[in-house]
Structure 1
Amino acid sequence: MNTDIQTVSFGLILHSGNAKSMGMEAIAHSRKGEKKVAREKIEHAKDELKKAQKVHAGLIYEEANGLSPEFSLLLMHGEDHFTMAQIIIDLAQEIIGIHEKIESRCK
């Protein structure tokens, strides 16, 4: 495996993993009623996801130009993290909304 694809893979894993973790932290804060912190975590998660998306888009761009990366389990792992981060952020936003709705009805 060449060093470039390793570097790209680790960048994808890093930013996607950060986004995923922040999404889960947002859910935990929401569960405690800490709406402001939960929303801030979501925004930070989205920022990390944008960084991961730039890496992902770069891979797509290169492949579209005939520069397909060699198969790499590490890259596949990074893509998996990227997908999971997207899903967790979407679900975290829904869960935070549900918590807020329940909280407003209990007042």
Structure 2
Amino acid sequence: MDDNYLNVVMGIIMNAGNAKGLAHEALEAAKLNDFEKADQLMTESSQALAEAHNVQSDMLTKEAQGDHTEVNLYMVHAQDHLMTAITYQDLVKELITLYKKNMNFA
């Protein structure tokens, strides 16, 4: 396994992990009714997720061009992080929306 491959895997893992962590911080801010902070953190989370997704998209483009990427446990782990971060971010967006709606009824 070469350094470039590890950089790709770690790029996905780190950016997806950052995206998930920032989304969690946004949820905590929403619980405290700090929606400005929650929105800012979700913007940062989306940026980190876009970085992870860009790394994945580059890999997919190379694969389509015939440059095969080895799939091993590291890559599976990276993809797991990415998909979990995407799902968690989607859920947090919905929860923040609910917190905002509840504030209107308080």
Q: TM-score, normalised by structure 1?
A: 0.94
Q: What is the alpha-carbon distance in structure 2 between the residues aligned to residue 52 and residue 71 of structure 1?
A: 17
4+ residue runs of structure 1 moved beyond 6 angstroms?
A: none
Deviation (angstroms), 1:71: 2.0
Q: What is the alpha-carbon distance in structure 2 between the residues aligned to residue 45 and residue 57 of structure 1?
A: 18
* Structure 2 runs not aligned, ≥5 long: none
Task: Give the number of aligned pairs.
Answer: 106
Task: Indicate the RMSD between aligned Cα atoms, in angstroms.
Answer: 0.9
Deviation (angstroms), 1:74: 1.2
Q: What is the alpha-carbon distance in structure 1 between the residues aligned to residue 92 and residue 25 of structure 2?
A: 9
Q: Which residue of 2 aligns with 1:55?
A: 55
Q: Which residue of 2 aligns with 1:81?
A: 81
Q: Which residue of 1 aligns with 2:37?
A: 37
Deviation (angstroms), 1:76: 1.1
Q: Which residue of 2 aligns with 1:71?
A: 71
Q: Percent identity of the aligned residues?
A: 26
* Structure 1 runs not aligned, ≥5 long: none
Q: What is the alpha-carbon distance in structure 2 between the residues aligned to residue 22 and residue 95 of structure 1?
A: 14
Q: Deviations over 1:63-102 (max 9, x none)?
A: 1111121122111111111111111111111000000101
Q: What is the alpha-carbon distance in structure 1 between the residues aligned to residue 12 and residue 20 of structure 2?
A: 12
